[in-house]
Amino acid sequence: MTGTRTATAIAHPNIAFAKYWGKRVGDGNFPAVPSVSVTLRGLSTQTTVAFREGLTGDRMMLDGAVADDAVLARMTAMLDRVRAAASFALFAEVTSANDFPTASGLASSASGFAALALAASRAAGLDWPADKVSDLARRSSASAARSVFGGFVELDAGPVAPTADDSLAARVVARADHLDLAVLVCVTSEGKKSVASTAGMRATAERSPYYATWLAEAPQIAARLKAALVAKDFDALGELTEASTFAMHASAMAAGVLYLRGATIDALAAVRELRGQGVAAYATMDAGPHVKVLVKTGDVPRATAHLAAVQGVLRVLDARPGDGAHIVDGANATAAASAT
Ligand code: DP6
Protein backbone atom coordinates (compact mmCIF):
# COMPACT_ATOMS: atom_id res chain seq x y z
CA MET A 1 0.00 0.00 0.00
CA THR A 2 1.32 3.47 -0.86
CA GLY A 3 0.20 7.08 -0.35
CA THR A 4 -2.31 7.98 2.33
CA ARG A 5 -5.20 5.86 3.44
CA THR A 6 -7.70 7.56 5.68
CA ALA A 7 -11.09 6.93 7.34
CA THR A 8 -13.22 8.65 9.97
CA ALA A 9 -15.57 6.91 12.38
CA ILE A 10 -18.00 7.95 15.10
CA ALA A 11 -18.90 5.84 18.14
CA HIS A 12 -20.90 6.40 21.31
CA PRO A 13 -20.37 5.41 24.95
CA ASN A 14 -22.33 2.58 26.53
CA ILE A 15 -23.52 1.85 30.07
CA ALA A 16 -23.46 -1.71 31.39
CA PHE A 17 -26.51 -3.08 33.21
CA ALA A 18 -24.67 -6.37 33.92
CA LYS A 19 -21.09 -5.37 34.64
CA TYR A 20 -17.85 -6.61 33.12
CA TRP A 21 -15.37 -6.64 36.00
CA GLY A 22 -12.36 -8.99 35.86
CA LYS A 23 -10.33 -10.59 33.08
CA ARG A 24 -9.41 -14.13 32.12
CA VAL A 25 -5.86 -15.09 33.04
CA GLY A 26 -3.63 -14.86 29.95
CA ASP A 27 -3.32 -12.49 27.01
CA GLY A 28 -5.97 -10.97 24.79
CA ASN A 29 -8.04 -8.95 27.30
CA PHE A 30 -10.85 -11.51 27.54
CA PRO A 31 -13.53 -10.68 30.15
CA ALA A 32 -14.04 -13.17 32.98
CA VAL A 33 -17.80 -12.53 33.13
CA PRO A 34 -20.55 -11.75 30.60
CA SER A 35 -21.96 -8.22 30.36
CA VAL A 36 -25.08 -6.55 28.97
CA SER A 37 -25.24 -2.84 28.08
CA VAL A 38 -27.01 -0.06 26.23
CA THR A 39 -25.22 2.13 23.70
CA LEU A 40 -26.15 5.79 24.06
CA ARG A 41 -26.76 8.53 21.52
CA GLY A 42 -26.07 12.22 21.81
CA LEU A 43 -22.55 11.81 23.13
CA SER A 44 -19.89 10.90 20.55
CA THR A 45 -16.24 10.26 19.85
CA GLN A 46 -15.08 11.07 16.30
CA THR A 47 -11.76 9.58 15.21
CA THR A 48 -9.80 9.96 11.97
CA VAL A 49 -6.98 7.55 11.13
CA ALA A 50 -4.57 8.41 8.29
CA PHE A 51 -1.87 5.87 7.44
CA ARG A 52 0.83 7.91 5.66
CA GLU A 53 4.20 7.39 4.06
CA GLY A 54 7.04 9.33 5.65
CA LEU A 55 5.91 9.11 9.29
CA THR A 56 8.51 7.73 11.70
CA GLY A 57 5.98 6.68 14.35
CA ASP A 58 2.28 6.79 15.22
CA ARG A 59 0.99 10.18 16.36
CA MET A 60 -2.19 11.04 18.17
CA MET A 61 -4.08 14.22 18.95
CA LEU A 62 -6.78 13.75 21.58
CA ASP A 63 -9.23 16.59 22.21
CA GLY A 64 -6.81 19.05 20.61
CA ALA A 65 -3.69 18.07 22.58
CA VAL A 66 -0.90 15.57 21.95
CA ALA A 67 -1.94 12.29 23.60
CA ASP A 68 0.15 11.19 26.58
CA ASP A 69 2.47 8.18 26.33
CA ALA A 70 0.09 5.71 28.01
CA VAL A 71 -2.76 6.56 25.62
CA LEU A 72 -0.39 6.45 22.62
CA ALA A 73 0.94 3.02 23.65
CA ARG A 74 -2.58 1.60 23.90
CA MET A 75 -3.50 3.05 20.52
CA THR A 76 -0.31 1.79 18.86
CA ALA A 77 -1.03 -1.74 20.13
CA MET A 78 -4.33 -1.67 18.24
CA LEU A 79 -2.75 -0.15 15.11
CA ASP A 80 -0.07 -2.90 15.18
CA ARG A 81 -2.85 -5.52 14.97
CA VAL A 82 -4.42 -3.65 12.05
CA ARG A 83 -1.06 -3.35 10.24
CA ALA A 84 -0.40 -7.06 10.73
CA ALA A 85 -3.84 -7.98 9.36
CA ALA A 86 -3.43 -5.66 6.36
CA SER A 87 0.22 -6.65 5.77
CA PHE A 88 1.70 -3.17 5.62
CA ALA A 89 3.95 -1.08 7.83
CA LEU A 90 2.82 2.55 7.49
CA PHE A 91 2.51 4.61 10.65
CA ALA A 92 -0.64 6.61 11.31
CA GLU A 93 -1.73 10.08 12.28
CA VAL A 94 -4.80 9.81 14.51
CA THR A 95 -7.09 12.65 15.54
CA SER A 96 -9.79 11.93 18.09
CA ALA A 97 -12.27 14.22 19.81
CA ASN A 98 -15.05 13.66 22.32
CA ASP A 99 -18.05 15.99 22.28
CA PHE A 100 -18.56 15.21 25.97
CA PRO A 101 -16.08 16.08 28.72
CA THR A 102 -13.86 13.19 29.83
CA ALA A 103 -15.03 13.93 33.35
CA SER A 104 -18.71 13.63 32.39
CA GLY A 105 -18.88 10.25 34.05
CA LEU A 106 -19.22 8.40 30.76
CA ALA A 107 -16.29 6.19 29.84
CA SER A 108 -14.53 7.62 26.81
CA SER A 109 -12.45 4.45 26.37
CA ALA A 110 -15.48 2.50 25.11
CA SER A 111 -16.45 5.01 22.42
CA GLY A 112 -12.79 5.87 21.79
CA PHE A 113 -11.58 2.35 21.03
CA ALA A 114 -14.77 1.47 19.11
CA ALA A 115 -14.26 4.51 16.83
CA LEU A 116 -10.53 3.79 16.50
CA ALA A 117 -11.10 0.11 15.62
CA LEU A 118 -13.58 0.97 12.88
CA ALA A 119 -11.61 3.93 11.44
CA ALA A 120 -8.25 2.09 11.52
CA SER A 121 -9.52 -1.13 9.97
CA ARG A 122 -11.36 0.78 7.24
CA ALA A 123 -8.42 3.10 6.53
CA ALA A 124 -6.21 0.02 6.16
CA GLY A 125 -8.56 -1.33 3.50
CA LEU A 126 -9.89 -4.14 5.70
CA ASP A 127 -13.59 -4.27 4.97
CA TRP A 128 -14.35 -6.16 8.14
CA PRO A 129 -17.82 -7.14 9.35
CA ALA A 130 -18.92 -5.60 12.66
CA ASP A 131 -18.00 -8.65 14.74
CA LYS A 132 -14.35 -8.48 13.63
CA VAL A 133 -14.27 -4.76 14.43
CA SER A 134 -15.80 -5.55 17.83
CA ASP A 135 -13.16 -8.22 18.53
CA LEU A 136 -10.41 -5.73 17.63
CA ALA A 137 -11.95 -3.10 19.94
CA ARG A 138 -12.26 -5.64 22.80
CA ARG A 139 -8.54 -6.39 22.73
CA SER A 140 -7.90 -2.75 23.71
CA SER A 141 -10.86 -2.21 26.06
CA ALA A 142 -13.51 -4.87 26.51
CA SER A 143 -16.37 -2.40 27.01
CA ALA A 144 -15.46 -0.92 23.58
CA ALA A 145 -16.52 -4.19 21.93
CA ARG A 146 -20.09 -3.33 22.95
CA SER A 147 -19.99 0.27 21.58
CA VAL A 148 -19.38 -1.10 18.06
CA PHE A 149 -23.07 -2.09 18.12
CA GLY A 150 -26.14 0.05 18.77
CA GLY A 151 -29.10 -0.56 21.04
CA PHE A 152 -28.92 -3.27 23.71
CA VAL A 153 -25.75 -5.34 23.48
CA GLU A 154 -24.12 -8.32 25.18
CA LEU A 155 -20.56 -9.57 25.44
CA ASP A 156 -19.89 -13.12 26.63
CA ALA A 157 -17.11 -14.10 29.00
CA GLY A 158 -13.97 -15.21 27.19
CA PRO A 159 -12.70 -18.81 27.06
CA VAL A 160 -11.26 -20.03 30.37
CA ALA A 161 -7.74 -20.40 28.97
CA PRO A 162 -7.62 -18.11 25.93
CA THR A 163 -5.14 -18.72 23.11
CA ALA A 164 -3.90 -16.35 20.41
CA ASP A 165 -6.44 -17.85 17.96
CA ASP A 166 -9.48 -17.08 20.09
CA SER A 167 -11.74 -14.17 19.25
CA LEU A 168 -14.75 -12.69 21.04
CA ALA A 169 -17.15 -10.07 19.75
CA ALA A 170 -20.20 -8.38 21.27
CA ARG A 171 -23.62 -8.87 19.69
CA VAL A 172 -26.98 -7.12 19.61
CA VAL A 173 -29.68 -8.30 22.01
CA ALA A 174 -32.32 -5.79 20.91
CA ARG A 175 -32.62 -2.62 18.86
CA ALA A 176 -32.45 0.84 20.42
CA ASP A 177 -36.24 1.25 20.25
CA HIS A 178 -36.88 -2.04 22.09
CA LEU A 179 -37.40 -0.42 25.50
CA ASP A 180 -38.72 2.92 26.72
CA LEU A 181 -35.57 4.02 28.59
CA ALA A 182 -33.64 7.12 29.54
CA VAL A 183 -30.31 7.03 31.37
CA LEU A 184 -29.88 10.06 33.64
CA VAL A 185 -26.20 10.59 34.31
CA CYS A 186 -25.69 12.34 37.66
CA VAL A 187 -22.24 13.92 37.45
CA THR A 188 -20.78 14.17 40.94
CA SER A 189 -17.20 15.21 40.26
CA GLU A 190 -15.21 17.00 37.57
CA GLY A 191 -11.99 15.18 38.39
CA LYS A 192 -10.56 12.10 36.69
CA LYS A 193 -11.38 8.78 38.34
CA SER A 194 -8.89 7.71 41.00
CA VAL A 195 -8.27 4.13 39.82
CA ALA A 196 -8.63 3.26 36.12
CA SER A 197 -10.84 0.22 35.49
CA THR A 198 -8.00 -2.02 34.25
CA ALA A 199 -6.03 -1.38 37.48
CA GLY A 200 -9.17 -1.67 39.63
CA MET A 201 -9.98 -5.07 38.13
CA ARG A 202 -6.42 -6.28 38.68
CA ALA A 203 -6.46 -5.19 42.34
CA THR A 204 -9.87 -6.85 42.85
CA ALA A 205 -8.64 -10.14 41.36
CA GLU A 206 -5.45 -10.07 43.42
CA ARG A 207 -6.75 -8.89 46.77
CA SER A 208 -10.52 -9.16 47.15
CA PRO A 209 -11.82 -12.01 49.33
CA TYR A 210 -15.11 -11.63 47.43
CA TYR A 211 -13.75 -11.86 43.88
CA ALA A 212 -14.55 -15.60 43.61
CA THR A 213 -18.12 -14.87 44.73
CA TRP A 214 -18.41 -12.13 42.10
CA LEU A 215 -17.18 -14.52 39.39
CA ALA A 216 -19.76 -17.09 40.47
CA GLU A 217 -22.67 -14.63 40.74
CA ALA A 218 -22.11 -12.36 37.73
CA PRO A 219 -23.08 -14.89 35.01
CA GLN A 220 -26.35 -15.68 36.81
CA ILE A 221 -27.20 -12.00 37.21
CA ALA A 222 -26.37 -11.38 33.52
CA ALA A 223 -28.55 -14.28 32.32
CA ARG A 224 -31.56 -13.17 34.38
CA LEU A 225 -31.01 -9.56 33.36
CA LYS A 226 -30.91 -10.42 29.65
CA ALA A 227 -34.18 -12.36 30.02
CA ALA A 228 -35.77 -9.34 31.78
CA LEU A 229 -34.53 -7.04 29.00
CA VAL A 230 -35.88 -9.29 26.24
CA ALA A 231 -39.22 -9.50 28.09
CA LYS A 232 -39.26 -5.65 28.47
CA ASP A 233 -39.63 -6.09 32.24
CA PHE A 234 -38.34 -2.66 33.29
CA ASP A 235 -38.45 -3.28 37.05
CA ALA A 236 -36.63 -6.63 36.86
CA LEU A 237 -34.02 -5.05 34.56
CA GLY A 238 -33.54 -2.23 37.06
CA GLU A 239 -33.34 -4.51 40.11
CA LEU A 240 -30.80 -6.78 38.41
CA THR A 241 -28.78 -3.76 37.26
CA GLU A 242 -28.55 -2.65 40.88
CA ALA A 243 -27.66 -6.21 41.96
CA SER A 244 -24.80 -6.34 39.43
CA THR A 245 -23.58 -2.86 40.41
CA PHE A 246 -23.53 -3.53 44.15
CA ALA A 247 -21.90 -6.96 43.74
CA MET A 248 -19.18 -5.47 41.53
CA HIS A 249 -18.50 -2.55 43.88
CA ALA A 250 -18.58 -4.78 46.98
CA SER A 251 -15.95 -7.08 45.50
CA ALA A 252 -13.80 -4.10 44.47
CA MET A 253 -14.24 -2.37 47.82
CA ALA A 254 -13.05 -5.46 49.69
CA ALA A 255 -9.76 -4.98 47.82
CA GLY A 256 -9.64 -1.33 48.90
CA VAL A 257 -10.77 -0.10 45.47
CA LEU A 258 -13.29 2.59 46.32
CA TYR A 259 -15.05 4.59 43.60
CA LEU A 260 -17.99 5.92 45.62
CA ARG A 261 -17.95 9.40 47.15
CA GLY A 262 -20.36 11.16 49.49
CA ALA A 263 -22.42 12.55 46.62
CA THR A 264 -22.64 9.04 45.13
CA ILE A 265 -24.33 7.74 48.29
CA ASP A 266 -26.65 10.76 48.46
CA ALA A 267 -27.68 10.25 44.82
CA LEU A 268 -28.35 6.56 45.56
CA ALA A 269 -30.59 7.61 48.45
CA ALA A 270 -32.44 9.98 46.10
CA VAL A 271 -33.07 7.10 43.68
CA ARG A 272 -34.65 5.14 46.54
CA GLU A 273 -36.76 8.18 47.45
CA LEU A 274 -38.00 8.30 43.86
CA ARG A 275 -38.98 4.64 44.09
CA GLY A 276 -40.75 5.39 47.36
CA GLN A 277 -42.79 7.99 45.42
CA GLY A 278 -43.77 5.38 42.83
CA VAL A 279 -41.21 6.29 40.12
CA ALA A 280 -39.45 3.28 38.56
CA ALA A 281 -35.85 4.51 38.99
CA TYR A 282 -32.78 2.26 39.34
CA ALA A 283 -29.14 3.19 39.85
CA THR A 284 -25.84 1.98 38.47
CA MET A 285 -22.21 3.06 38.94
CA ASP A 286 -19.05 2.20 37.04
CA ALA A 287 -15.40 2.84 37.85
CA GLY A 288 -16.11 6.35 39.09
CA PRO A 289 -18.26 8.34 41.54
CA HIS A 290 -21.10 9.17 39.14
CA VAL A 291 -24.56 7.63 39.38
CA LYS A 292 -26.50 6.67 36.26
CA VAL A 293 -30.22 6.29 36.77
CA LEU A 294 -32.51 4.19 34.58
CA VAL A 295 -35.99 5.66 34.19
CA LYS A 296 -38.83 5.56 31.70
CA THR A 297 -38.86 8.57 29.38
CA GLY A 298 -42.12 9.91 30.83
CA ASP A 299 -40.46 10.12 34.27
CA VAL A 300 -37.43 12.14 33.03
CA PRO A 301 -38.62 15.63 34.17
CA ARG A 302 -39.61 14.50 37.66
CA ALA A 303 -36.55 12.28 38.19
CA THR A 304 -34.17 14.93 36.81
CA ALA A 305 -35.55 17.60 39.16
CA HIS A 306 -35.22 15.28 42.16
CA LEU A 307 -31.66 14.14 41.30
CA ALA A 308 -30.43 17.64 40.38
CA ALA A 309 -31.47 18.84 43.85
CA VAL A 310 -29.06 16.41 45.56
CA GLN A 311 -26.13 18.24 47.14
CA GLY A 312 -22.97 17.24 45.27
CA VAL A 313 -24.73 16.39 42.00
CA LEU A 314 -23.22 18.95 39.63
CA ARG A 315 -25.47 18.27 36.66
CA VAL A 316 -27.76 15.63 35.20
CA LEU A 317 -27.37 14.51 31.57
CA ASP A 318 -30.24 12.80 29.76
CA ALA A 319 -28.96 10.01 27.47
CA ARG A 320 -31.06 7.68 25.31
CA PRO A 321 -30.38 4.38 23.48
CA GLY A 322 -28.56 4.98 20.18
CA ASP A 323 -26.54 3.67 17.26
CA GLY A 324 -23.35 1.69 16.97
CA ALA A 325 -20.08 2.82 15.42
CA HIS A 326 -20.27 4.08 11.84
CA ILE A 327 -18.03 5.51 9.16
CA VAL A 328 -18.31 9.18 8.23
CA ASP A 329 -16.96 10.16 4.83
CA GLY A 330 -17.20 13.90 4.45
CA ALA A 331 -20.86 14.64 3.93
CA ASN A 332 -21.75 10.96 3.48
CA ALA A 333 -22.28 8.99 6.65
CA THR A 334 -22.43 5.28 5.89
CA ALA A 335 -23.89 2.97 8.51
CA ALA A 336 -21.08 0.45 8.54
CA ALA A 337 -20.52 -1.56 11.62
CA SER A 338 -23.84 -0.77 13.21
CA ALA A 339 -26.19 -3.72 13.19
CA THR A 340 -29.15 -1.62 14.18
C1 DP6 B 1 -17.11 -0.81 35.33
O2 DP6 B 1 -13.69 -1.80 29.40
O3 DP6 B 1 -12.76 0.13 30.75
O4 DP6 B 1 -17.39 0.14 33.16
O5 DP6 B 1 -10.99 -3.79 29.23
O6 DP6 B 1 -9.47 -2.94 31.00
O7 DP6 B 1 -10.26 -1.39 29.19
P8 DP6 B 1 -10.57 -2.60 30.04
O9 DP6 B 1 -11.78 -2.18 30.99
P10 DP6 B 1 -13.07 -1.32 30.65
O11 DP6 B 1 -13.99 -1.73 31.90
C12 DP6 B 1 -15.31 -1.29 32.05
C13 DP6 B 1 -15.76 -1.62 33.43
C14 DP6 B 1 -17.11 -1.08 33.82
C15 DP6 B 1 -18.23 -2.09 33.57
C16 DP6 B 1 -18.64 -2.28 32.13
O17 DP6 B 1 -18.59 -1.34 31.32
O18 DP6 B 1 -19.07 -3.42 31.82
Ligand 1 pocket member 137 (CB < 6 A): no
pLDDT in tens, 65-106: 999 999 999 999 999 999 999 999 999 999 999 987 765 667
Q: What is the mean pLDDT of residues 263-292?
A: 97
Ligand 1 pocket member 109 (CB < 6 A): yes
d(CA 242, CA 171): 23
Question: How many angstroms is it from 316 CA to the middle of ligand 1?
Answer: 22
Question: How many angstroms is it from 64 CA to the middle of ligand 1?
Answer: 25
**pLDDT above 70 (res 317):** yes
d(CA 327, CA 148): 11
Listed by start position, the domains of the chain span 4-177, 182-321
pLDDT score recorded for residue 315: 93
> 182-321: which CATH topology?
Alpha-Beta Plaits (3.30.70)
Tell me if 294 sits within 8 A of 18, measured CB to CB. no
d(CA 223, CA 231): 12
d(CA 135, CA 129): 10
pLDDT in tens, 106-142: 767 899 999 999 999 999 999 999 999 999 999 999 9
Ligand 1 pocket member 143 (CB < 6 A): yes
pLDDT score recorded for residue 3: 73
Ligand 1 pocket member 141 (CB < 6 A): yes
pLDDT score recorded for residue 335: 40
Ligand 1 pocket member 16 (CB < 6 A): yes
Please give the number of the atom of ligand 1 that sits closest to the Cα of 109. 3
Same fold for the pair 4-177 and 182-321: no
The CATH-assigned architecture of domain 4-177 is 2-Layer Sandwich (3.30)
- For 120, residues 6+ apart whose C-beta sits below 8 A from its C-beta are 7, 49, 78, 79, 82, 92, 94, 136
**pLDDT above 80 (res 331):** no
In three-state secondary structure terms, 57 is coil
Ligand 1 pocket member 135 (CB < 6 A): no
